[in-house]
Chain A
């Protein structure tokens, strides 16, 4: 067994070398001083020099990345096992009461809720402070970056109690009517209770602005919930129909079951009946239509005493204001699903539609000055960009922006 210890190596120096090697790999210019530091390291040992040379050859970097990827693929599974073993092996000399406290779900989710409240307070204070200096024109690049949204939601249980869901915590969230609700890698799933059937109970998962979320319904159907949306469903479906109520936008992959039709109700106007299929429903109340887009299978749509059956690639638009139902062929389905795949797809999209998407994802409020030219955009943008980066890309068009706290002003 070796006796020397890595704690004795210079952590700060190692860190510096790692960053210098990275900088050089991506092509950033090194200062003379940085280059000298790196050279010192290279000359320290033949092994260092060998690594330096390997980083200059594509095949060896490729192989290194593949090794890392192979490790990363097993990571989530291994992490779940690791966390489970932590729970099984509390340290002996901890007080029993304390272990109980840390392992208690109520404690953990209360802590999460307190954190969320704390953040809300910070934002509130921040905005108030902003508000004290009206009329100041801060250039976009100088404003504090507004981070993109992320995974997260609020689960409302049958008794009205609420649980904050985020990707940080894995494990059992609650029990409902005998079914256990489990959070795994940011996705919520129901493990049915078996024969334990009581009265039907309903759960609601809702996302605020700036959050999206995935869940698996009790029948195995998968749902991706976009920001500012909610879905209501029973904790166990009965054997006549599977009915859910949607507000906002969601993409569904319905588990096939011909005997028990799956139904999505949006508002009073629209009901979607499906057998086993993949489709997206956009039912935001601030959009002018409820749009159902079919990717695979078949769905039947009921609205205003009409019914249509959609084929893959078709989109039905229900316009409540006009009591109208229309069907469009050959929809760009990739564009419809861009939100789920981590993108904004602004191809041929009007400015107000673009802004409504930004409002939901960055949790901002948008106001317009007079005289905005009718503009249509093009192209895709990564949803992981900060708001400022997205605006900078959009400014290539005829519009300009000013940011005041979380209020965005669109100017000609």
Chain B
């Protein structure tokens, strides 16, 4: 799992097996978004996907296991989430068949699911760049880019003038650029932020 791991691997695995609340809070922070993204891509229902990811983490709490490695732990959580998501799809189809006599959706292929694991992890890395922005810039990026709120409404919600909003947007882009320039920056990636 990309990201910073404040626990030593061995310690984390031991604490999970011991039902240590703090370790589970950490586990949640590390995996929740990724698992929801993964499930949501399969079942296309956000609320259900949130439930499924939460249940997967709770399942581990109820029958804690001592894993050999972080990779095994991660695989276990993805497997739980995948199985629950596919079960949910099956359940949906059964209901549809009884009422409508059709079954449009097919089970996603194993290849697709494996690619999806990669995509889910990757999103976490990309989103970190936005999260590192100072609050006042991040607000602008969230409203204009992530929520597609029209400029006038965004300015009203933040309680600032249109001019001010333009300024902050410009600064947010500048800040992202300077962070990313250290890495080399691809025009394509930057164009994402010229919203």
Contacts and interface: CB of A to CB of B under 8 A. Distances in A.
Interface of A: 1-2, 4-9, 11-12, 14-15, 17-19, 21-22, 24-29, 45-48, 50-51, 55-56, 58, 61-62, 64-72, 74-75, 78-79, 81-83, 85-87, 89-91, 94, 102-103, 108, 168-169, 334, 340-343, 380, 382-384
Q: Interface range on chain B: under 10, 10 to 19, 20 to 34, or 35 or more? A: 35 or more
B112 A11 contact: no
Contacts of A12: 71
29 contacts: A1-B87, A18-B118, A21-B122, A25-B188, A26-B180, A27-B189, A48-B111, A48-B115, A55-B122, A58-B191, A65-B126, A66-B146, A66-B147, A67-B123, A68-B124, A69-B147, A72-B127, A78-B50, A81-B54, A82-B57, A91-B62, A91-B63, A102-B21, A168-B25, A169-B22, A341-B134, A341-B136, A342-B134, A343-B136
Given A1-B86, A7-B72, A91-B61, A21 B19 contact: no
A48 B122 CA distance: 13
Contact of B78 (A6, A51, A56, A168): A6
A81 B25 CA distance: 11
Contact of B111 (A14, A46, A94, A169): A46
Contacts of B121: 14-15, 18
A102 to B, nearest CB: 6
Nearest to A337: B136
B37 to A, nearest CB: 6
Contacts of A81: 54
Interface of B: 1-2, 19-22, 24-25, 28-29, 32-33, 36-37, 40, 46, 49-50, 54, 57-58, 61-64, 69-72, 74-76, 78-79, 82-83, 86-87, 109-112, 114-115, 117-119, 121-127, 129-130, 132-136, 142, 145-148, 171, 175, 180, 183-189, 191-192
Contacts of A64: 119, 123
Contacts, number: 200
Contact of A75 (B33, B145, B185): B33
Contacts of A75: 32-33
Given A14-B118, A90-B19, A6 B186 contact: no
Nearest to A111: B22
Given A1-B87, A75-B32, A382-B134, A11 B61 contact: no
